[in-house]
Amino acid sequence: MTTPNHYPRLEIDLQKLASNAACVTTYARERGIEITGVIKGCNSIVEAGKAMLKGGCTGLATSRMDQMRRIREAVPGAQTWLLRLPMLSEIEDMVLLSDLSLNSEEVTIGKIEEVCGRLGKQHGVILMADLGDLREGFRDFEAMMALAEEIEFRMPHVVLEGIGTNLGCYGSISPTTENLTELVELARAIEARLGRKLRYVSGGATTTLPLLLKGGVPEGINHLRVGEGILNGRDLMVFWNTPFPGVVADAFTLKAQVVEVKEKPSYPIGEIFVDAFGEVPVYVDEGVRVRAIAAVGKQDIGSHEKLLVRNEGLRLIGSSSDHLILDVTDLAPEARPVVGDVLEFDLSYPAMLYSTGSASVEKVLLNGETVL
């Protein structure tokens, strides 16, 4: 049951999520690409995962094992992927809770083989190639091919399901026809050594969607792992200037209650030192302004810069752990919020990540259920 008066409140429109997923999966499927839905960005709220499956995603992925356990319990039939390279200390849980994992270390895969042997299980691995973004994956492709053979011919419980890459995460490197062609060529080389086809050649995440829309994803890439592009739909618009046709960016709505409205100078009074987070923001003196404080803060959203206002005339100017400060001067006086009013915001990916993980934020599905 929902608590009608609880704020901050995060409302999640599952229909919009399912429809976003359908837009992406349909477009990709027509080009021979399967989509795994990534739900780590919303703390793996399982209903969001179910909406993605309804929208045509063929499996669900997250980066953390506690979230994986929830997914497995809620949708036992779904194919599950662990995205962050597994820790040696979580291999047992991983083998029990996820069907596939992304990997780059022989010692870890050796441990998967050992645990699977003991439990009488099989586990699928995707070997990661680092094509320049410099997060996870092999830079030495010869070593990667050798490990592929080792898995194929000497590890009966580990199934080499494919290879993949991750771009645009650490090194901010864009997926291109060139670097993804490198991945396809690597897959073909491994297939030649194994004498069989690989099930997956996984060409990245949301950041590969703009290239897909431009027709630049090379033949041979048959899988993507997409989170933001379905959940949030904002990065493609903001950073790539290529919104995905049909995807809406307002499936998540944050609601926060106003606790103060006062006229105040816009420039702090006294000696400027550092704010609550040890930073020195830039303050612009615009004279006396009307400001509102809403009861939600960095702990719930990361930073005010990660929220977007829905009404023209509202300006987000600052935040501390528990406070969000807005300039409301540009609203007509009768339209300005008063204490007790509830303001609505759109979220960018970091704000979605923090708010879904914040215990103080009530998460409400638009069918009225509360996410516990």
List residues binding ligand PLP (CB under 6 A). Answer: 38, 40-41, 63, 83, 102, 166, 205-206, 225-229
**DSSP state letters, 70-136:** HHHHH-TTS-EEE-SPPPGGGHHHHHHH-SEEEE--HHHHHHHHHHHHHHT--EEEEEEE-SSS-SS
Residue closer to ligand PLP, measured from CB, 126 or 258: 126
Minimum CB distance to ligand PLP smaller for 8 or for 41: 41
How far is the CA of 24 from the CAs of 92, 135, 303, in angstroms?
33, 26, 29
Decide whether 128 or 331 has the Cβ nearer to ligand PLP.
128
How is residue 21 written in tokens? 């997923």
**Nearer Cβ to ligand PLP, position 58 or 266?**
58
Give the residue carrying structure tokens 């003196």: 285
Q: Which of 203, 131, 232 is nearest to 172 (CA)?
A: 131
In angstroms, give the least distance from the CB of 58 to ligand PLP: 14
- Smaller CB distance to ligand PLP: residue 103 or 166? 166
Pick from 218, 210, 129, 206: which is nearest to 169 by CA? 206
Q: From the CB of 140, what's the least distance to ligand PLP, in Å?
A: 19
Tokens linked to 62: 């997250």
3-class secondary-structure state, position 152: helix
40: annotated active-site residue: yes
Using alpha carbons, select from 209, 125, 135, 198 the residue that is nearest to residue 165. Answer: 135
Q: For every residue of 253-288, which 3-state class applies, written as one string? A: EEEEEEEEEEEEECCCCCCCCCCCCCCCCCCCCCCE
What minimum distance in Å lies between the beta carbon of 131 and ligand PLP?
A: 13
Min CB(236)–ligand PLP separation in Å: 10
- The CA distance from 251 to 240, in Å, is 20
In this structure, are residues 225 and 36 in contact, taking their beta carbons and an 8 Å threshold?
A: yes
Write the CB contacts of 208 (distance below 8 Å, at least 6 apart in sequence).
167, 175, 180, 217, 221, 224
* Position 140, amino acid: D
Distance of closest approach, residue 4 Cβ to ligand PLP, in angstroms: 32
The nearest distance, CB 275 to ligand PLP, in angstroms, is 30
Q: Which residue number is nearest to ligand PLP in terms of Cβ?
A: 227
DSSP three-state, residue 213: helix
Q: Name the nearest CA neighbour of 161 among 219, 222, 248, 251.
A: 222
Which CB atom, from 42 or from 316, has the smaller least distance to ligand PLP?
42
**Among the listed residues 242, 230, 298, the one whose alpha carbon sits nearest the alpha carbon of residue 41:** 230
Question: Of 38 and 292, which CB lies nearer to ligand PLP in the complex structure?
Answer: 38
- Whichever of 67 and 166 has its CB closer to ligand PLP, that residue is 166
- Rounded CA separation 93/101 (Å): 12
Question: Which of the residues 16, 40, 255, 306 is marked catalytic?
Answer: 40
CB of 208 to ligand PLP, least distance (A): 9
Q: Which residues are paired to 260 by β-bridges?
A: 293
Shortest distance in whole angstroms from residue 369 CB to ligand PLP: 24
Q: Which of 143, 124, 123, 141 is nearest to 132 (CA)?
A: 141
Catalytic residues: 40
